[in-house]
Structure 1
Amino acid sequence: MFEDLRSYLDHLKERDLLHEVNVEVDPVEEVPEILRHLMWKRYPKAVLFNKLKGYEDWRVVGNIFGSMELIKIALGTENLEEIGERFLAPFKGKAEGVTGKLRKLSEMIGMGKYLPKKVRKGAVQERELEPDLLSIPTFKTWPKDASRYFTYALTITKDPDTEVHNFGVYRIMVYSPRRAVVHWQVHKRGAQNYLKYKKKGIRKMPVAIAIGGDPATLLTGALPVPEGIDKYMFAGILKGSSVPVIELDNGLLAPANAEALLVGYVDTEELAWEGPFGDHTGYYTPRDLYPVFHLEKMYARKDPIYYGTVVGRPPMEDAYIGKATERIFLPLMKWLIPEIVDVNLPPEGLFHGIAIVSIKKKYPGHARKVMHSLWGLGQMSFTKMIIVVDEDVDVHDIGEVMYAIASTVDPKRDVVIIENDVTDVLDHTTPTPPIASKMGIDATRKWKEECGYEWPERTEPDPKLVELVKSRWESYGFPSEVKPE
């Protein structure tokens, strides 16, 4: 597996999956516009900008996770679900019920094979620089964004009670050379750690911000790892080996092979205005108050590479990251809720917006039971609409899903509305985030107990005629590619 961002890019170059731009470009506004256009066109290569106007010491890379092929290369697997199975392997068959299984997951903190490995000095410490956030080629992605933003930096914190580390991908608005505003939503683990420090009366909460790193660690930053599980350990599971880390003066562990590292603290008594920012919804999110990060030290490798992404109306790079999340965590969802067959979180549904789930239906009301179980699982609690279909419906074929809805759903009987429930803070459709309504649609074929009558029989061809037609297909003169399966 790849030890850092550079080795990953070298590998992509060998496979002709890296495009290098060697003319001078403005990284603040021109680069994000280039990347946005490429992502809309589903460009399948990572893009490295080697000459930056005003930032001669830096290079910028984007779209490194811009296709499922790139993500599979980054994680060294052809089957992303295998990673989820690896995660669950120690616990299969050991606990019954969702509560017991979730309790078992918390014990994964002790899995020594994947725990981070401390090293005395990391590549990221090649140089200590004058602390200056403005010296980094951060993006201003959309014209009305309030400022420049870190869009894919890893914000590192730890729980002050358990010392379990977390790093998340939160947008960070640059205010000045040494101040920035961290947009961590109230449901995120970074925000929960912040509230613990605040409750304890600790004004300076240790925070580090890593730029770049090995691709498995970078992807882990965006994954909804269950609460209580150390993200460095989960990154080790994705990577297949421990993540090398350095211990900072403020007690945090940071990726040893990052490209740059910003060390400082968040003041638990200081808030500042953040936004507007053009987000993944395709709309600007309005201003709000968030905690302030203070930069104290800054480290960087020689010739550092800044990794940033752009977000907006799908498809963007985060569409593929979201799809990878879906596949990696499908085994976990199936372990916790065994009747689940498959799940589709469509990028156009903004992931938290719509979930399509197929189940092995075993009793009346089963679809509703699955809806409520999913709404009780971590970030699935943000899902605004859940559509449940039978196991023979391909959840990734929207035509099949639409047919299932049209042929099984009576709106009054089969639509569930939940009021005053938790939702994504970024959901501008609700007037009162993070509280909103949700909808579930039972698009399964109904049992008599659910509808009061015998459900009609589905039309199916005569198996003998199917075999006859298949055996004689060549004699009909039709192309082989349309032969019945």
Structure 2
Amino acid sequence: MGYNNLQECIRDLEAAGRLVRLDVEVDPYLEAGVIQRRVYQAGGPALLFTRVKGSRFPMLGNLFGTLDRARYLFRDTLPALEKLVRLKVDPGEAMRAPWKNLGLIRTLWNARPKFVSNGPILAGTCDLTDLPNQVSWPKDGGAFVTLPQVYSESPASPGWMHSNLGMYRVQFSGGQYAPNREVGLHYQIHRGIAVHHAQALERRQPLRVNVFIGGPPAMTLAAVMPLPEGMPEISFAGMLGGHRMELVPAANGLVMPAHADFCISGVIDDTKTLPEGPFGDHLGYYSLEHDFPVLRVDRVYHRPDAIWPFTTVGRPPQEDTSFGALIHELTGEAIPTVLPGVRAIHAVDAAGVHPLLLALGSERYVPYDPHKSPRELLTQANAILGQGQLSLAKYLFIANSGDDPALDIHDIPAFFRHVLQRVDWTRDLHFQTRTTVDTLDYSGLGLNEGSKVVIAAAGPPRRTLPTTLPRDMRLPDGFDVPTICLPGVLAVQGPPCVRNRHAQDPRMEDLCRELRDTGQFQEWPLILVVDDSAFTAASLNNFLWICFTRSDPGCDIYGVGASTICKHWGCTGPLVIDARSKPHHAPALEPDPEVEKRVDQLAARGGPLHRVI
């Protein structure tokens, strides 16, 4: 029941035909990442690289590469966890049929870790330079741990009960880090480790940190799981893994999993920071170089048969998409118990997760009023934006579920069609400016700083969305190639953006005035100004990625017939979003053509990846 370690998992996947071994030498610098991304895009198997250039440790890629395989890994325990969620949603279920829930006692018992004095992780030590030098993108600043499990405990209340396990970026080569002595620890805003770090600084004491790599796959998923406050991730790992997690002490006094493959153990002992990055991130761009805390490494542990699991982070969808899908399956039913009135939430992976949230809420404040307008939806939107990592959303579209009970929040074109048919741009835009956004999002005013907008729609349809271009259309000079993305959504190619980061673009204001004066495109509720309208409209994913990663609501939303009344901004004509690349944006990720050609050869007839990619 469950896997005790990564080696058991690999043997099981290989026996089931879900894993392929690559016995040719593979370079962890760029090449392994290209292979993993190609196999992921093909819906292919997990990959075991047995000959890694420059390292004695094998590498494992694409372990969570399909949702089906992720479910397979936890097939013995997912039903019990889903049952626990249902009991939270409906506690009366346990009273109606208690005999059906007796098996949950064991699941709950597995939440408590088991402390042991010895384990495979204590068998060996190595230097950071012995680890696979994995670099995913040509402009990455060095080698990174891409599936880290970063463990810390509260200095105010030490012990596993007040611990945090998170997936925070770990750079172990390059930059200004002392070789074999220091690693960069990049944790984004609103992460649990920040609370522990703040407590350590307040007490003027070091923060002990252990970085686990590998071990039971349940530990990896636990590190990204959004859990209720007060529930340690290591407890969830035990329930998901089907057994109590065995923990042994490391050199710094913290625990580490006895069956982990590697553990980088050390302390953050002062306020020292160093530039970390650049690194290809989950928005599809490079997160740039910024100062982040430094972990002084005391020891690097590894088990005798250690395997280095890795992934590639880049423009979605990527392997971490499976994490999001599995998390939604486990937690979706519980959303109404956490956020009353909210029926469903969808963090849109193709838009980089945090930039775009879709939500279905309820309008119950004035059921006797035949003129439906967003009221309770706004209360629910505020609750969503005050909830954990959901607070990092930039765009939140929320619709009243009662207007169309059959509306599926995961049918993105249908959701946009529903909202755009009903939205009133004079009333339904609600901004928050100068607030926090995702650390990796460069569209705002600065690092961690940007804006949000809630777009709430309720009531019957107020317009029919156009699906064809007008014959007599004309646009102002510099704007051309109008292309339809979705019903009611038009992409227009604009001139290169040169605006200052802290200002709006006069060319966009001119465009809105001309559209108002000429009456052109008034029937289109949403117009995007982009660098390449054909690319933007070529697929739904392109539209989502371009629109929501390349715009900040406060800086980049304009409107035809715009006005501010009693400090509420709105417009009578189309909403216009400037989704062009800006001078302050991070560059988009691009692969190395020569490495791509090498991988093509591996996929050719007779090659080890033939018929895999």
Query: Within 5 A, what are the aligned runs for 1:232-381?
Result: 232-363=234-365, 365-381=375-391
Map of 2:204 onto structure 1: 201
Q: What letter matches 2:51 in structure 1? A: K
Structure 1 residue 312, shift from structure 2 partner: 0.8
CA contact (8 A) 1:152 1:308 kept: yes
Hey, what's the Cα distance between the residues in 2 that align with 1:263 and 1:291?
15
In the alignment, residue 120 of structure 1 is paired with which amino acid?
A: S
Which of 326-335 and 293-302 deviates more? 326-335
Q: Deviations over 1:263-290 (max 9, x none)?
A: 2212223211111111111111121111
Match status 1:117 vs 2:114: yes
In structure 2, the CA distance between the partners of 1:60 and 1:397, relative to structure 1 (3 Å rule), is same
**Are residues 25 and 232 of structure 1, via their aligned partners in 2, closer, same or farther at CA, if it must alter by over 3 Å?**
same
> More displaced, 69-78 or 184-193?
69-78
Q: Where does residue 126 of structure 1 map in the other structure?
A: 123
Moved more, 223-232 or 268-277: 223-232
Cα deviation per residue 1:143-171 (whole Å; 9 max; x = unaligned)?
Answer: 11111111111111111112211121111
Shift in alpha-carbon separation, 1:93–1:338, aligned structure 2, 3 A: farther
Q: Assess if the C-alpha contact under 8 Å between 1:344 and 1:395 holds in 2.
A: yes
Q: Deviations over 1:35-62 (max 9, x none)?
A: 12223x242321110111221x210001
Q: 332-341 or 209-218: which moved more?
A: 332-341
CA distance in 2, matches of 1:190, 1:251: 17
- Is this contact kept in 2: 1:49–1:59, CA < 8 A? yes
* One-letter amino acid matched to 1:243: M
- Report the 3-state secondary structure (helix = DSSP H, G, I; strand = E; otherwise coil) of the residue aligned with 2:223: helix
Q: Counterpart amino acid of 1:33?
A: V
Aligned to 1:45: 45
Seen in structure 2, the aligned counterparts of structure 1 residues 427 and 78 have a Cα distance that, compared at 3 Å, is same
Structure of higher RCO (CA pairs closer than 8 Å, 6+ residues apart): 1
Alignment of 1:145-160 (within 5 A): 145-160=140-155
In structure 2, the residue matched to 1:443 is 457
Give the corresponding residue for 1:7: 8
Residue matched to 1:415: 429
Q: Distance in 2 between matches of 1:218 and 1:79?
A: 15
Cα distance in 1 between the residues matched to 2:213 and 2:189: 23
Retained in 2: the 8 A contact 1:84–1:331? no
Contact 1:138 1:308 in 2 (8 A): no
Secondary structure of the corresponding residue to residue 340 of structure 1: coil
Q: Which amino acid aligns with 2:167?
A: V
CA contact (8 A) 1:155 1:167 kept: yes
Equivalent residue, structure 2, for 1:100? none
Change (3 A) 1:435 1:217: same
CA deviations on 1:335-367 (whole Å, 9 max, x unpaired) are 112423332222112111111122343235122
Q: Deviations over 1:182-208 (max 9, x none)?
A: 101242111221121111111x32111
Which amino acid in structure 2 is aligned with residue 172 of structure 1? V
2:269 match: secondary structure: strand
- Secondary structure of the 2:331 match is helix
2:406 to 392, 398, 406: 392
Query: Contact 2:281–2:314 (CA<8 Å) still a contact in 1?
Result: yes
Counterpart CA distance in 2 for 1:409 and 1:281 is 28
Is the Cα–Cα contact under 8 Å of residues 404 and 444 in structure 1 kept in the other structure? no
Q: Distance in 2 between matches of 1:62 and 1:334?
A: 36
Answer yes or no: is the 8 Å Cα contact 2:268–2:295 preserved in 1: yes
Tell me the residue number matched to 1:426. 440
DSSP-derived class of the 2:316 partner: coil
Structure 1 CA distance for aligned equivalents of residues 141 and 237 of structure 2: 32
Deviations 1:233-271 (A, max 9, x none): 122232343211112243312111111122221222321
Runs of 4+ in 1 over 4 A off after TM superposition: 77-80, 90-94, 455-458
Which residue is 2:75 aligned to?
A: 76
Describe the SS at the equivalent of 2:272: strand
Q: Which residue of 2 aligns with 1:61?
A: 60
**Aligned amino acid, residue 159 of structure 1:** S
Q: Is the 8 A contact 1:422 1:434 kept in 2?
A: yes
SS of 2:426's equivalent in the other structure is: helix
Q: Deviation digits for residues 5-54 of structure 1, max 9, x if unmatched?
A: 12122221122111211111112321012112223x24232111011122
Q: Distance in 2 between matches of 1:415 and 1:397?
A: 23
CA distance in 1, matches of 2:264, 2:348: 35
Which ranges in structure 2 are unaligned for 5 or more consecutive residues? 93-107, 367-374, 465-613
CA RMSD of aligned residues (A): 2.4
CA contact (8 A) 1:148 1:173 kept: yes
The aligned length equals 428
Q: Is the CA contact 2:146–2:170 (under 8 Å) kept in the aligned structure 1?
A: yes
Q: Letter of the 2:155 partner, please give it.
A: P
Opposite residue 346 of structure 1, the aligned amino acid is: V
8 Å Cα contact 1:52/1:59 also seen in 2: yes
- CA–CA separation in structure 1 for the residues paired with 2:462 and 2:197: 56
Amino acid at match of 2:114: K
State the identity as a percent. 27
Distance 1:331 1:392 in 2: 17
SS of the residue aligned with 1:24? strand
Question: Which residue pairs with 1:171 in the alignment?
Answer: 169
Counterpart of 2:186 in structure 1 is: 183
Q: Secondary structure at the match of 2:293?
A: strand
Deviation for aligned residue 1:408: 1.0
Could you tell me which runs of 5 or more consecutive residues in structure 1 were left unpaired when the two chains were aligned. 95-110, 447-454, 459-485
Residue 432 to residue 65, structure 1, CA distance change in 2 (3 Å): same
8 Å CA contact retained: 2:424, 2:457 = no
CA deviation profile, 1:308-343 (whole Å, cap 9, x unmatched): 111111111111112222332323322112423332
Q: Equivalents in 1 of 2:165, 2:10: separation in Å?
A: 23
Letter in 1 for 2:117: R
Q: Which has the larger radius of gyration?
A: 2
Does the aligned pair in 2 maintain the 1:266–1:291 contact within 8 Å? yes
Distance 1:381 1:300 in 2: 37
SS state of the match for residue 222, structure 1?
coil
The alpha-carbon distance between structure 1 residues 77 and 362, as it changes in their structure 2 partners (threshold 3 A), is farther
Contact 1:180/1:292 (8 A) holds in 2: yes
1:180 Cα deviation after fit:
0.8
Q: Structure 1: how far apart are the matches of 2:215 and 2:78?
A: 23
Q: Deviations over 1:54-95 (max 9, x none)?
A: 21x210001111111121112226968x6355257469669x
Match of 2:138 in 1: 143
SS, match of residue 200 in structure 2: helix
The answer for the alignment partner of 2:567 in structure 1 is none
